[in-house]
Copies of this chain bind each other. A is one copy, B any other.
Amino acid sequence: MSNSLYHRPQMSPPHVIIVGCGFGGLWAAQALRHAPLEVTVVDRTNHHLFTPLLYQVATAGLSAPSVAGPIRHILADQRNTTVLFGEVRAVDLARRLVRLENGDELAYDYLIVAAGTTLSYFGHDEWAPFAPGLKTLEDALEIRRRVLLAFERAERESDPARRAAWLTFVVVGGGATGVELAGTFAEIARHTLRGEFRRIDPHSARVVLVEGASRVLPPYPADLAMKAQLQLERLGVTVWPGRVVTGIDADGVSLGAERIACKTVIWAAGVAASPLGATFGAPLDRAGRVKVEPDLSVPGHPEVFVAGDLAAVDAVPGIAPAAKQMGRHAAKNILRLIAGRPSVKFKYRDYGQLATIGRNAAVAVIGRVKLSGFLAWMVWLVAHIYFLINFRNRVVVMLDWGWAYFTYQRYARIIIRGMKSR
């Protein structure tokens, strides 16, 4: 692809590049829908991912397409917008262009970087092969493969110790993702697989949730976090707060002196900001996020904005609603600048936080209201189906969940690449 492709005639409308089409990028693009601009959305996947339900793909409750929508299709009718399948490797603030994975350069007049986060093993990348995390569809399918395969291996294993290791699942990290995964793994072992094996009892599987802090769901109020832990334990999860992982290998997890022999470890402990943030030369916080101005622009570059998890803004959590608000705000500020008006400060509207734990179990903070158990779970259910990106997915997900709820089955129990590796 030659750069001439990106050469734009004089007097053409301002060109806005949006890097990343997660919640931040997609909401930014849609806020520019009717603007007299050229918009280019660059993403390294062809789909917008509904990450709040990604754990359902990892736990075989939903198929990959149910939580992902083709970006081209979502933005097809937005005539001022071009979607590019590619990966932005660097941003050149001085020359006002972004560099793609193949060296191509795209010039911009305004830039919104919503590249989000990547997995972080806190300097222990050697753990990665033994403890996949959950960021992409590929990750979710790999976790699904390992968990389902573990029960198959246990069924064929005659040595009691090795069998127990195949039936032990450790989730590292007690945040929302870790809690969701651990709770659902326990449900799979206790309900979904009941009566399907002849040599093992899936019910005997052990699910351990390890959290470094003193309790799960640190960002939540202490009483709600305690309720979450009780609900997890009721579902059959062993919750180990205040434990720090010191080692992960093919045969287990080390927690200082303690050791858990297990064949399946899931990493839900940490993320780091996209490396793109470092290319700005702007100050970063400890997580590598860009310390943006109150209007979300990069210091010294009013034409460049950062939205979503890559932006460090005080008291704004790393959740989908925050990313959407930032994306929309960055877009609005670009429209203001083009209209010759000053950009405005970003204000986060807190609609609350929700974390699901498992069947009939969740916790929610909505304003001053704190919910847990079935009621919180219903709120979670309705909210997530409502916010699913397109109508069709909503219908399929509702059907899948209705079926799953009453049958305890999980229809996506398909091992891809089963015979390969491990």
Contact = CB atoms under 8 A, between A and B. Distances in A.
Interface string A65-106: 110101011001100001111110000000000000100100
A415 interface: yes
Contacts of A66: 63
A195 to B, nearest CB: 5
B101 A419 contact: yes
Contacts of A159: 2
Contacts of A415: 45-47
A248 interface: no
A114 to B, nearest CB: 18
A37 interface: no
B403 A156 contact: no
A45 B137 contact: no
A392 interface: yes
Contacts of A264: none
A155 B72 CA distance: 12
Interface size band for A: 35 or more
A77 B195 contact: yes
A374 B157 CA distance: 52
A46 B1 CA distance: 42
Contacts of A85: 149, 152, 155-156, 418
Contacts of A409: 73, 392
A156 B72 contact: no
A399 B395 contact: yes
Contact of A418 (B2, B4, B46, B152): B46
Contact of A399 (B104, B152, B199, B396): B396
Given A85-B156, A156-B86, A46 B413 contact: yes
A417 interface: yes
A328 to B, nearest CB: 23
Contacts of A258: none
A8 to B, nearest CB: 13
A116 to B, nearest CB: 15
A371 interface: no
Nearest to A100: B156
Interface string A387-422: 000001101100110010000010111111111000
A1 B47 contact: no
A182 to B, nearest CB: 22
Contact of A65 (B195, B414, B419): B414
B413 A158 contact: no
A196 interface: yes
A400 B66 CA distance: 11
A156 B77 contact: no
A148 interface: yes
B416 A141 contact: yes
A165 B63 CA distance: 32
A44 interface: yes
A409 B418 CA distance: 30
A138 interface: yes
A411 B395 contact: no
A155 to B, nearest CB: 7
B413 A1 contact: no
Given A46-B148, A393-B411, 13 more contacts: A4-B158, A47-B414, A63-B412, A64-B416, A65-B411, A65-B412, A72-B196, A73-B196, A76-B195, A82-B198, A137-B414, A392-B403, A396-B400
16 contacts: A1-B158, A2-B158, A5-B158, A46-B413, A46-B415, A47-B415, A63-B64, A63-B412, A65-B413, A70-B413, A72-B197, A82-B198, A82-B199, A83-B196, A83-B198, A85-B156
Top 3 closest pairs, chain A to chain B, by CB: A63-B63, A85-B152, A72-B196
